[in-house]
Structure 1
Amino acid sequence: MLVETGGDCHAVRRDLERLVARDHGITHTTLQVDHQPEKVLQVAAPGSGVTPARHCEDPHGPIHRGEPHGH
């Protein structure tokens, strides 16, 4: 799923997880939510001081790991 540029991709993922759990009883999901690409390509000369917009610093969702064997 793509979220508009500047949108809260983490909130969208959480809302989708709740909807799937509530409406379909699915409690373990793997959802890929990302930002749609910028409509305008920004090009800058090296050393110009212009930096491209950064993507989210946070991973897109919780990381589920199973119990270690023997526990």
Structure 2
Amino acid sequence: MNRAAAFAAASGLVLVREGKALALSDDGKKAVAAIRKEKLLEDEALFLEEIGKFTTEQVVEQIMKMEAF
């Protein structure tokens, strides 16, 4: 997850806020729109939608620190 976040930030797709929060940049929003328009990564989006229901801030922090949860 850390590598994906670093890659997205280096590519200009996300902005890093306060050293820990990520937000889509304008380019990131355009990329998401293009992906959705072409119906790419639909299975991945469904998976993330499902696990998102169970993902808390604490779980994300543990993942980012590579801790067991």
- The bucket for the TM-score relative to the shorter chain is under 0.3
More strand by share: 2
Question: Taking CA–CA contacts closer than 8 Å with sequence separation of 6 or more, which of the two structures ends up with the larger relative contact order?
Answer: 1
More helix by share: 2
TM-score by length of 1: 0.24
**Rg bigger for which structure?**
1
TM-score by length of 2: 0.24
